[in-house]
Amino acid sequence: MSENINQPQLETFSYDDKTVKMFSIATLVWGAVAMLVGVTAAFELASWRVNLGLEWITFGRLRPLHTNAAIFAFAGNAIFAGTYYSLQRLCKARLYSKTLSYIHFWGWQAIIVSAAVTLLSGFTTGKEYAELEWPIDIAITLIWVAFAVNFFGTLFNRREKHIYVAIWFYIATIVTVALLHIVNSLAFPVSLMKSYSIYAGAQDALIQWWYGHNAVAFFLTTPFLGLMYYFIPKAINRPIYSYRLSIVHFWSLVFIYIWAGPHHLLYTALPEWLQTLGMVFSISLWAPSWGGMINGLLTLRGAWDRVRREPVLKFLATAVTFYGMSTFEGPLLSIKSVNQLAHYTDWIVGHVHSGTIGWNYFLTAGMLFYMVPKLWNTKLYSVALGNLQFWTGTVGLLLYIISMWVAGVTQGSMWQAIDPHTGVLVYPDFVETVVRIVPMYWVRAFGGTLVLLSFLIMIYNLWQTIRNSPKEQPEQKFQALALKARDQKAHSDQGHRRLEGLPAFFTVLTVLAVVVGTAIEIIPSFMAKQFVVKNDDVKPYTPLELAGRDIYIREGCYNCHSQMIRPLVAERLRYGAPSQAAESIYDHPFQWGSRRIGPDLARVGGKYPNMWHYRHMLNPRAVTSGSIMPSYQWLFQNKSQLDILPKKLNVMKALGVPYSDEEIENAVTLAKEQAELITETLAESGVPPEMKDKQIIPLIAYLQRLGTDLGPTLLQEEEEAARK
Amino acid sequence: MKQLCDHCELPIPQGVIIEEQNKSFCCHACKTVFQFIHHSKLDEYYEIKSSLNLNEKKRAQFIVRNKHLEQIDSLGFQKRFLLNGPGKTIKFYIDGMHCFACVWLLEKLQTLSTDIMEIRVNYFEKSLTLSIAESATFIETIEVIQKLGYNLYPVASDSDLEKVKKEKQHELLSRVSVAAICAGNIMICAIAVYAGADEYWKTLLERLSGAFFIPILFYSSTPILKNAFHSLKNRRYVLDIAAAFSIILGATLSYYHLLKGSGAIYFDSLGTFVFLLIGAKYILLCSNNRAAHLDTIDYRLGSDHYFKVIENSEHGIERCKISTEDIAEGDMILLQPGDTCPVDGTVWNGESYFDNSAISGESQPIKVKAGAKISSGSKNIESEILLKCSSNAMNSSMGILLDSISKSWKQSNSITGLTETLSFFLFICVVLACLGTTSFLLWSNQSEEIFPRLLAILVIACPCALGIGTPLALGFSLKSLVQKGILVKNADVLVAASKISTIFFDKTGTLTNGSQTLTAWRGERNDSLEDIIFNLESISLHPIAQSLCMSLSEKRNIPKINFVDHLEKKGKGVSGKIGTDTWSMEKFSGTEDNGDYPNATASTLKKNGATVAVLYFRDELKPESINLISKLADLQISAGILSGDRASVVNYWAQTLGLSPGHIYSNLSPQDKSDLIKNTKRAAMVGDGINDALALKESALGIAVKGSLSASLKSGDVILLENNLFKIIELIEFSRKVLNLIRRNVIWSLIYNIGGVSLAAFGFVNPLVAAVLMPISSVFVVFNISMFFYRPTATMSALSLESSYAK
Amino acid sequence: MSILLILIPISVLIAAFFVACFILSSKNGQFEDLETPAFRMLSDGDKEKNQRSNK
């Protein structure tokens, strides 16, 4: 028609759903893997035999794989699928670049595979949720950039003026995660697969938990909130209850989350006020989180019959409910007095899973049930299966949460139980507290299995859905007015800036919000000298101890053993003088840990003879009956590589650990000498001398060193103080 | 259980049920709309509508399309309305839009034709922006939209007013955001300090918060400071003065302590306070601005162009196009049927019927012959006439009326009237307290105590409930009123509404439908007769003929019949031949009051001169009118009628409605109406026509009903966005509730302030405590208010539903 | 006190940027209508117009 000539053309476009499809499938695959690994780990805790004596599937190595797979493989792919799907439709624009989408997809899958391989073979940085070694970290950064470019490219080409709130949540995610990842992973490589974090001790702890918390905040929360704000209205075909509220929700979250990190470090060697600040922020997080939850739930008001009928809504509604639950539990747990009981126990584990399973898995399920039929333009294979999955999953999850809560409270109170008359611990033997909760571990493992089962049901259900979809899928074409066409004139008269500037702007803002948070948290830690009392009695590890420490990290001991004695009477009685920031200033990375499946090791040094450790590592039950710790036979077969030590010491020196040059030169010989000494003490109990170059020796050396620098003096001081 | 209409989902009254493709409808409007939606493949509309499970449902009104949009594609029109945008863009204020499903429907219309480039709805300000191809025309799209039951009022493109308001709003918003962010950061620092950050960190954090307070002081709080300063200059006391004082004093003291390195600092609580205060101001401004775009509605009526006739010696009579503005006294212009007379004048030749309802409220068209005076604003119905202009558009009766409307200035009986007196009283107390304390401390030479104590007094004296609560309450209420379909132009109206004791209604078009409808049929009646009548009348432009055709065609589809010499005799009626029979539809020539059908017009169907049937037409009451009156009585509000119509008619309806004769007035000119209103205390006026516009302006509370002429939309304080008079009841009840809320807040704040001030004066409260108390009290007030507004909404709308359809 | 030189500029900067953001985005009308977008997102965009509808 002729009139089209003199009018701004309506642009015809279609959506790139191929990428979305690929990510959706990846989500299913990796979800299954992550949960399978999780269940295996759960059974290993219930019975130490489950690892079949294989080093690469011991709990210490499986657990990092589980967390990484769940967060970055499962949740990651889900986020990408959902984001790409909703972004295109919210922007009325096709994905920016086909190539980038491909790079993004295959790159990410490659990363996941390499992560699985390296983690199982013991290559780890020893920082929770950031265990991947530096080459993979770099790969992650690159792929993330590809994602960002693809995302913002699409956003700039959008044909809808308004930036829907979901997009803001995505932007926050992209920017923040990049920043968190880079800042936290800064490390100094020793070899291709070994590096030391540039931060040490308290500073590392701050960075790590600022990251650790925000990994949850910005990888498992903001993107999924964005998805919630998109998929709930879509699924129920009704606008979000209050759009205004959702915007307030966004900004307050972005602003507050950043500061909440320190609540993971309550009762640690961090300055008091910083802990309190963290606590206050965690508590104030409650408001925006619930704002979001209420907004989501009220959107479903008056449609509960549909929630009962349709799996999509069922999952979404439940997800939001669990979000509300865990965002209530979180602040609760960050209240100091609660934290005192719950910290280092399974309560935290339960809390985390109510979030990851209840919120992330269920929301993903709802999202997939909505997306997949639309993408393959067909109907869901079976609603019945959907309901079956829902109930299996929910029951499993509840079993999980309840068992973990019981286990946590039980163990926590047993640790702190002190006989009022005698003033001694009621359960001095740590293993008692473990044996008590093993039944709960069985329940948990069972619950986990149910969850895995439900996930497999979903996979079958969706696979059938896809299989029964029509063979040829015509691409739906859409039409909209180009944003420029609409604005040019408008701008000319009202002098508006170009709208395209806006997303960039929000990015900058989010960056800055994060930067300030970072500043508040990190700068103090860089100014460590301001509050970390430097103590000259604290000396760097000897070469052999350092080698031992790397074995400790490799085997993921930190997954079960903390190295941070809290200033509580019970802990004082059980482990000795409270840890001081000064004691870990040479720990690259810090090993304070977050869970005590086994006892704290901060002052284990000298507590037992070498032979005890020897026999314990060979077969824990030989020295502590009822121990659930796996045996580490391979430490007695594999030789310890000492030749790399000089390199390691060099790196450490570069990071500010005061090693003298001759120390570095003779590192190997020094190590060998110390190994000799230890082996001699063991020889008395009939250990053959050729054991001296096995990995067990450095480990013993390290364990015997822990907490010995200050421990005794601190005790004396305390006794003197007591006398006065 | 009553059957529900498939379009509007309202119970279908017995008898009127209309079946169509196994759907049933309550009225033909619904049917038409449904059919349109169905044929345009937009049925999803109904799914969405049901998924929204609205508790307020609307009956689709059949809108007789506004004449003034007919010319929308004319150059003159576009000169006034065309905006910058893709292709040709015009913005309309749209009414009849009651739920999100409407947004969906309206925006989906752009898929119907490639001429439409974009339709964007702004649900928030109830406006619609329509962009079409340069070469296309607006009228088709507009007709579709009106067919769907929405009414459009073009927004003049040169509306600087709106732009200015918007900018002001943006500016305030940015001030708010500054306050929010800075206050937030200050809080962080404050918490860290309270958490016991040691010396080194303490000083650092305090300085930081000091830095953050600078933008709050010099940017965010400027409106408060300015306002305080001006009102001090004009010897007026406003709330902001107290606020300004404490901000300034607090800031000075805090910075002084900061530099001194000792002593308390109050940045945190001051910051929060400023944030809350500015935030409240913003909310109020927003809700006031929401109605702003109404003022930009263009209220000039009728078509733009007329034909001027020039006598000219060479080639006789000659016609030329002339636009309203250019018509001069003494000109001769032709008025086509459907034209609205732009000026006053006398009929030169030709005869026709004129509809004066817009000006006088006269319900029946009047016949005019050569020599008859015609006043501007009346509408030519029947046939072309030649008019000799006795005025130009400006000084025509209508021109003067519109002028006076835009001029006459309503002094606001401001809500702050109440609060101002109170806060002035408070102010005196504070001043006295300050002086007292100072002098006492000087006398007992503890001068170092003075500063902190004064600050404590001032901080605690900040009338939060007044300063924050009142605007907030008003802001919220305006918002929720719009959601109820009541558009209130400014907050003060609420006060007026709560005090109303008398309500005057305009008759035609307000209490009644404002159009002649078939009420009775005497004599023979059958389909074939109806067919004949329909086809006869179909050529006539006379409103009665038109409404008759509409009502006949509603029942069934009427076959076409061709008449031989089918013509309309001026003032007589229409006639035509089928075969040998001559059929005619003539004006009834019987006694003035038509027997047992008072104040109805009648016309007779004749076959070969013999009367076959007599049809009676009259302007019927709106369905809800009667219940309305009784409901008003319950609220101790007396109702009355102000009409320009004949006494007989007015009184008849007054009796039907059971109104006490005390308040019934007829034969009123617009001026009379407004005088009457002016002299009645606390009286509200409800009207729609131009003749009501002045009264609406002068009354304590002017309410313009849906579908009013824009002149009255402009002059009314309140506009009912739905054609349902029960909204008036809702408005009054709601406003009373809100006023009570405000009073409660005020009392609370007085107790708090006076108590606090006296305590502070005697040094029982130190500045820090005061600083903590202040935000707490403000938050309490805010909470109190939001509780009020978020709780009852559900019940409110439920109430509105059953009340509006209780029958 | 060197930390002061890092902390304050950053904090002030971000505050400034937040404000700038609000001004810019509200100028762009991002916050003007906070009701319609919530609904507009419900439609995945308008299907290609079928040519028969033009005359």
Cα–Cα distance, A223 to A227 (Å, whole number): 6
Mean predicted confidence (pLDDT) in A546-555: 94
Give per-residue pLDDT as tens, B589-643: 654 445 566 667 778 888 888 888 888 887 778 878 888 888 888 888 888 888 8
Hey, is the C-beta of C12 within 8 angstroms of any chain A C-beta? no
Confidence of residue A44 (pLDDT cuts 50, 70, 90): very high
Of B170, B181, B211, Cβ closest to residue C18: B181
Count of CB contacts below 8 A, A vs B? 80
Q: How far lies A147's CA from each of A17, A221, A228, A293, in Å? A: 16, 18, 20, 28
Residues 83-112, chain B: which have Cβ within 8 Å of C? 100, 103-104, 107-108, 110-112
Which residues of A fall within a CB distance of 8 Å from C24? 497, 501-502, 505
Of B47, B133, B193, Cβ closest to residue A7: B133
Hey, is the C-beta of C52 within 8 angstroms of any chain B C-beta? no
Of C3, C18, C43, Cβ closest to residue B177: C18
Hey, is the C-beta of B189 within 8 angstroms of any chain C C-beta? no
Hey, is the C-beta of C4 within 8 angstroms of any chain A C-beta? no
**Considering Cα of B382, then B384, then B388, then B391, what sign does the dihedral take?**
positive
Residue A221 predicted with pLDDT over 60: yes
**Considering Cα of B661, then B663, then B664, then B665, what sign does the dihedral take?**
positive
Most confident of the ranges B492-506, B543-557, B595-609: B492-506
The percent of residues above 90 in pLDDT, for chain B, comes to 0
Q: Could you identify the residue written with the tokens 């080409």?
A: A157
What is the CA angle A708-A543-A560, rounded to 5?
55
Contact B48 A493 (CB under 8 A): no
pLDDT of residue A120: 94
The residue among A365, A465, A347, A450 whose CA lies nearest residue A399 is A450
Hey, is the C-beta of B118 within 8 angstroms of any chain A C-beta? yes
Contacting subunits of A (3+ beta carbon pairs below 8 A): B, C
Q: Coil, strand, or helix at residue B566?
A: strand
> Which residues fall within 8 angstroms of residue A375, CB to CB, at 6 or more apart?
A17, A20, A21, A24, A85
DSSP string, B335-395: E-TTPBP-S-EEEEE--EEEE-HHHH--SS-EEE-TT-EE-TT-EE-SS-EEEEESS-TTT
Cα–Cα distance, A584 to A592 (Å, whole number): 9
What is the CA angle B75-B79-B81, rounded to 5?
115
- Beta strands in B213-331, from DSSP E residues, in sequence order: 305-311, 317-323
pLDDT of residue B708: 57
Hey, is the C-beta of C13 within 8 angstroms of any chain B C-beta? no
Q: Residue C43 is encoded by which pair of tokens?
A: 């439609």
> Which residues fall within 8 angstroms of residue B91, CB to CB, at 6 or more apart?
B81, B83, B127, B128, B129, B130, B154, B155, B157
**Considering Cα of B212, then B217, then B223, then B224, what sign does the dihedral take?**
positive
Of B124, B181, B207, Cβ closest to residue C34: B124
pLDDT of residue C55: 33
Confidence of residue B42 (pLDDT cuts 50, 70, 90): confident
Cα–Cα distance, B625 to B622 (Å, whole number): 5
**Lowest pLDDT segment from A261-265, A335-339, A689-693, B554-558:** A261-265
Residue type for A724, please? K
Cα–Cα distance, B550 to B530 (Å, whole number): 12
Give per-residue pLDDT as tens, B320-372: 767 676 777 888 888 877 677 878 888 888 888 787 766 666 666 777 888 88
Q: Using an 8 Å Cβ cutoff, are B687 and B712 in contact?
A: yes
Pick the residue with more confidence: A240 or B549?
A240
Residue B617: DSSP 8-state: E
Q: Measure the CA dihedral B629/B630/B632/B635, to 10°.
A: 170
pLDDT of residue A389: 96
Hey, is the C-beta of B181 within 8 angstroms of any chain C C-beta? yes
pLDDT of residue C7: 43
Hey, is the C-beta of A92 within 8 angstroms of any chain C C-beta? yes
Confidence of residue B76 (pLDDT cuts 50, 70, 90): low
Contact C38 A243 (CB under 8 A): yes
Pick the residue with more confidence: A573 or A267?
A573
Pick the residue with more confidence: A528 or B393?
B393
Contact C47 A523 (CB under 8 A): no
pLDDT of residue B300: 42
Q: Residue A18 is encoded by which pair of tokens?
A: 């191929």
Hey, is the C-beta of B170 within 8 angstroms of any chain C C-beta? yes
A4, A168, A496, A516, best to mutate vs chain C, most C CBs in 10 Å? A516
Residue of C nearest to A159 (CA): C45
Of B115, B122, B185, Cβ closest to residue C15: B185
Contact A273 B196 (CB under 8 A): yes
Most confident of the ranges B17-26, B160-169, B546-555, C34-43: C34-43
**Lowest pLDDT segment from A518-522, A564-568, B151-155, C42-46:** A518-522
Which residues of B fall within a CB distance of 8 Å from A530? 200-201
Hey, is the C-beta of B201 within 8 angstroms of any chain C C-beta? no
Confidence of residue B802 (pLDDT cuts 50, 70, 90): very low
Contact C33 A162 (CB under 8 A): yes
Mean predicted confidence (pLDDT) in A319-334: 91
Mean pLDDT of chain A: 86
φ, ψ (nearest 5 deg) of residue A541: -70, 150
φ, ψ (nearest 5 deg) of residue B780: -55, -50
Distance from CA of B254 to the nearest CA of C (A): 18
Give per-residue pLDDT as tens, A51-60: 888 889 999 9
Residue A541 predicted with pLDDT over 50: yes
Distance from CA of B285 to the nearest CA of C (A): 13
Mean pLDDT of chain B: 74
Confidence of residue B43 (pLDDT cuts 50, 70, 90): confident
Residue C53 predicted with pLDDT over 50: no
pLDDT of residue B53: 54
Residue A156 predicted with pLDDT over 70: yes
Contact B170 C18 (CB under 8 A): no
The residue among A74, A70, A67 whose CA lies nearest residue A23 is A74
Identify any residues that bridge with B502 across adjacent strands, giving them in sequence order: B638, B683
Cα–Cα distance, B323 to B608 (Å, whole number): 46
Residue of A nearest to C49 (CA): A479
Cα–Cα distance, B29 to B723 (Å, whole number): 14
- Edge-to-edge strands, sheet with A10-13: A10-13, A478-481, C46-47
The number of residues making up chain C comes to: 55
Contact B123 C3 (CB under 8 A): no
Mean predicted confidence (pLDDT) in B495-503: 84
Q: Coil, strand, or helix at residue A439?
A: helix
Count of CB contacts below 8 A, B vs C? 83
Q: Using an 8 Å Cβ cutoff, are B694 and B673 in contact?
A: yes
Cα–Cα distance, B434 to B448 (Å, whole number): 15
Confidence of residue B570 (pLDDT cuts 50, 70, 90): low
Residue A490 predicted with pLDDT over 60: no
Distance from CA of A279 to the nearest CA of C (A): 21
Hey, is the C-beta of C49 within 8 angstroms of any chain B C-beta? yes
Confidence of residue B804 (pLDDT cuts 50, 70, 90): very low
Residue A707 predicted with pLDDT over 70: yes
Residue of C nearest to B168 (CA): C27
Confidence of residue A29 (pLDDT cuts 50, 70, 90): very high
Contact B212 C26 (CB under 8 A): no
Confidence of residue A99 (pLDDT cuts 50, 70, 90): very high
